[in-house]
Chain A
Amino acid sequence: MAIDNNTVRQIAFLAKLKVEPDKLEETKEEFNKILAWVEELREVNTDNVEPLVSVNNESLTLREDKISAGHNAKEILANAPAQEFGYFVVPKVVE
């Protein structure tokens, strides 16, 4: 299932990464090499096999519904590259 330049562009868009036009061809080829390799998995018969989602068989435990961390806006904002009035700053999104 080889992919083309358009698919690379689309995937990069979804991943919020820019692939420069002059790197498109190279990226596609690398992509296809890796895909061709993982394609080997098709040989394996997986009829009636359940997907393994977690190796941990213990069931998740419920905890009491109470706040254990919070009210620390200062710490949460400590690494923000841009902040104002106790908020993260993003470019204007609503006209």
Chain B
Amino acid sequence: MSELVELTVSESLKKLRNKEISAVELTQAYINKMQDNAKYNAYVTLNEEKALEQAKEADKRYQNGTNRPLEGIALGIKDLFCTKGLRTTACSHIIDNFIPQYESTVTQNLLDDGAVFLGKLNLDEFAMGGSNETSYFGPVVNPWSKETKLVAGGSSGGSAAAVAAKMCAAATGTDTGGSIREPAAFCGVTGIKPTYGRCSRYGIIAFASSLDQAGPICKDVADCALLLNSMAGYDAKDSTSSKVEVPDFSAFLGKDIKGLKVGIPNEYRIDGMNEEIVTYWDKAAEILKNAGAEIVSISLPHTKYALPTYYVIAPAEASSNLSRYDGVRYGNRVDGNGLDELYTNSRTSGFGKEVKRRILIGTYVLSAGYYDAYYLKAQKVRQLIKNDFDKAFEKCDVILTPTSPIEPFAIGDKKMLENPINMYLNDVFTVSVNLAGLPAMSLPIGLSKNGLPLGMQLIGKPFDEGTVFKTAYQLERGANFVRM
């Protein structure tokens, strides 16, 4: 039965529809794999019993012909999405006993399309991190690790590792500064952060509301299209969700890219970048060129300022969003002398180090006397970063960059831990996309000489995921990456 977990979502759906396999046996195969691969620490809450019930229901629907688009497909859900009746923790001690009384819109959309939920996936605490090491439940181990245990990337490290190690058919992720794309690159899988507003944020535990977006992490590009078809759409419960029509993303796969202009940003050739990544970047451009695309050089002059801008705006929004954790309405409560102490004790013992660091920074940049110098300044630079992209897209249709400047590193890496900025720098190619609200996909391009996966990123115009999909499909075909 183990070969069942090798199937992509599209392949599984075909076999389910032809009644070659049942949803129950498919779900059971993934559950077995979850048990075999528990060492990767990808799941923090299991939902096996309920998943098998959902699968039984799916089989009934295949029998009577009422099957829906993702009927019987077993998914892992990042533990940042509220799932009704199923513990949701954001991998933080402060809500490690939280049972949502409602379902997030994105997961509801997936359930309405027939998906089966295997469990909740590990992440950096409140999605704040790039290596999944800030999780209250411990780091995720990258399934590609050799002798040394490597990070799976973050914050959606559990999602990427679970897809790579076949512990689910596909997974949900969220991306605030690269949290879908970087772990996807580190684990040799494919993930897309759609345009800001494509997916409803309702029921997703908030980190930085002007940057957060949900998206899928999958085995391949075609599966991403299937999942995003289900996840995206306007939702009255999220005022920032968009009314722009959602096309059938699968319809873009296999489309011709002749004459398509692919932009290569000069500023992304940064010092200290892994040489192999540069070589693969050139190779990716070559693949697209051979498929008929035209490579053009573009400039994104404010690239250098994207990270500092992000590390003002994201903590500011986080400090505001996380003020709701007060020990009164839900979560960790540590009583003290009076209300103020109750708040302080509950928060101090409930949040981890990185989260506290960001709340403090955010509180500082929003405080009286510093607001203009930091927060307002960052919002203005954010405008310039967005303008850069607007200008670049006058010259090209899609932008090609590496996803990360480095390959997966060791868990507990000293250099990353001794200075938080070293960790932040890994997001250099991904954060601008969130600041500008653009869609971007990461897909595997090949292995480093250490045998570790490396990812390429394709960035599209707002609401033009279609071009990202058709370009990614050609790149995937040319790269011919062999999954784990």
- Determine if B384 and A44 form an interchain contact, defined as CB atoms under 8 angstroms apart: yes
B22 at the interface (CB under 8 A from A): no
A1 to chain B, nearest CB (A): 7
> Which residues of chain B come closer than 8 Å to A7, judged between CB atoms?
364
Interface size on A, residues (CB 8 A): 50
Q: Please measure, in the bound complex, the distance between the C-alpha atom of A81 and the C-alpha atom of B325, giving whole angstroms.
A: 12
A6 at the interface (CB under 8 A from B): no
Residues B325-351 near A (CB distance < 8 A): 326-333, 335-340, 342-345, 347-348, 351
Residues B236-271 near A (CB distance < 8 A): 236, 239-240, 242-244
Given contacts A11-B360, A31-B361, A79-B329, contact A46 B367 (CB under 8 A): no
- Determine if B308 and A41 form an interchain contact, defined as CB atoms under 8 angstroms apart: yes
A64 to chain B, nearest CB (A): 10
- Determine if A55 and B360 form an interchain contact, defined as CB atoms under 8 angstroms apart: no
Partner of B437, one of A3, A40, A50, A56: A56
- Determine if A54 and B210 form an interchain contact, defined as CB atoms under 8 angstroms apart: yes
Partner of A56, one of B242, B323, B421: B242
B contacts with A: majority SS: helix
| Complex: chain B residue closest to A79, CB-CB | B330
Interface size on B, residues (CB 8 A): 72
- Determine if B196 and A55 form an interchain contact, defined as CB atoms under 8 angstroms apart: yes
The residue among B99, B239, B380 with the most chain A CB atoms within 10 A of its own CB is: B380
Q: Please measure, in the bound complex, the distance between the C-alpha atom of A50 and the C-alpha atom of B387, giving whole angstroms.
A: 11
- Determine if B335 and A91 form an interchain contact, defined as CB atoms under 8 angstroms apart: yes
Residues A65-87 near B (CB distance < 8 A): 72, 75-76, 78-82
> Which residues of chain A come closer than 8 Å to B335, judged between CB atoms?
91
- Determine if B344 and A78 form an interchain contact, defined as CB atoms under 8 angstroms apart: no
> Which residues of chain B come closer than 8 Å to A80, judged between CB atoms?
328-330
B376 at the interface (CB under 8 A from A): yes
> Which residues of chain A come closer than 8 Å to B373, judged between CB atoms?
1
A2 at the interface (CB under 8 A from B): no
A-B pairs with the 7 shortest C-beta distances?
Answer: A55-B437, A51-B379, A81-B333, A79-B330, A46-B380, A52-B383, A75-B101
